[in-house]
Amino acid sequence: MYGRVDLAHIRRSIGLIEPSRSPAFDERVCVRDVVATGLFGTVRLPLHEEIRPEAWKRVEAEMELLGLDELRDNAFTQLSTGEQMRALLARAMVAQAKLLLLDEPTAGLDMGARAACIGVLDRLLNRDSHPTVVIISHHLDELPRSVDQVVLLKHGSVFANGPADEVLTSDTLSRLFDCRVEVFRSNGRYVAGVNDGS
C-alpha cells in the first residue's frame, strides 16, 4: 500500500557516499572487510555470521574492478580520500545498491585523484547492470560522460531540469550563477568557466 514500506529493506537498496562524512569504521578494519560490510549494511562484519565463499568472490571482484587489490589489507582509515571513495563505491556495489547517491564525491581530492575518481564512475556506469547514480555537485567537470538528466537548484528551488545537453548551457548557467559562464565539452565532459570580460 502507498506510504507503507519496509524502510530497512529500502535502505539496503540505497548506497549513500559522502566523502566528507565517511561511516565510522573501526580504525584497524582493513579495506577488504570494509567492502565486505556492504553484504550486511553495517560498519562491522557480524561476529556470528559466516560469509559464504561466493560472497567473498563478489567482494574480491569489486575490489579488483575498482583497483583496490593491492590495498586489501591496508587499514581503511590510512587510505587517501580518493582511495576511501573507491572502497566505499566497492562496498555499495557489493551491497547491490539499486540507487547510488554521491554527495560531492571529489571534494578534497587533488587533480589526479579527482580524475581517477571520475574514471571509476565512468567505468561503473559502463557496466551492463549498474545502479541509478545521483551526483550532487558544484562542478560540471566531475560529472560522468554518460550523464543524461540534470536538475539545477537555486535558493532551494528547481531552477531548470531536463536532458544534460539542454540544461548545461552557457545561457542557463549564466542565469543560475548571475555571472557570465561559458560551457563547453572537452573529451566528452562538460566544463565551465567564468567569463569576466577581460
For the ranges 15-19, 30-34, 80-84, the lowest mean pLDDT is seen at 15-19
Cell of 167: 540544461
Whether residue 8 has pLDDT greater than 80: no
pLDDT band for position 61 (cuts 50, 70, 90): very high
Q: Which residues contact 127 (CB under 8 A, 6 or more apart)?
A: none
Alpha carbon dihedral 136, 31, 92, 102, in 10-degree steps, equals: 0
Cell of 64: 579488483
User: To the nearest whole number, what is the mean pLDDT of the chain?
Assistant: 88
Q: Which residue has the higher pLDDT, 158 or 106?
A: 158
What is residue 1's predicted lDDT score, i.e. its pLDDT? 45
Strands 99-103 and 14-17: parallel
Strands 99-103 and 132-136: parallel
Say which CATH topology domain 7-139 has: Rossmann fold (3.40.50)
Rounded mean pLDDT of 91-109?
Answer: 88
DSSP string, 110-149: -HHHHHHHHHHHHHHHTSSS--EEEEE-S-GGGS-TT--E
Q: Give percent above pLDDT 70 in the chain.
A: 94
Domain with CATH 3.40.50.300 in the chain: 7-139
Q: Give percent above pLDDT 90 in the chain.
A: 44
Residue among 142, 71, 144, 78 nearest 113 (CA): 142
Whether residue 3 has pLDDT greater than 80: no
**Which tens digits make up the pLDDT trace of 117-169?**
888 888 888 888 888 999 999 889 889 888 999 999 999 999 999 999 999 99
**Which tens digits make up the pLDDT trace of 176-189?**
999 999 999 998 89
The burial class, CB within 10 Å (0-12 / 13-18 / 19+), for 188 is exposed
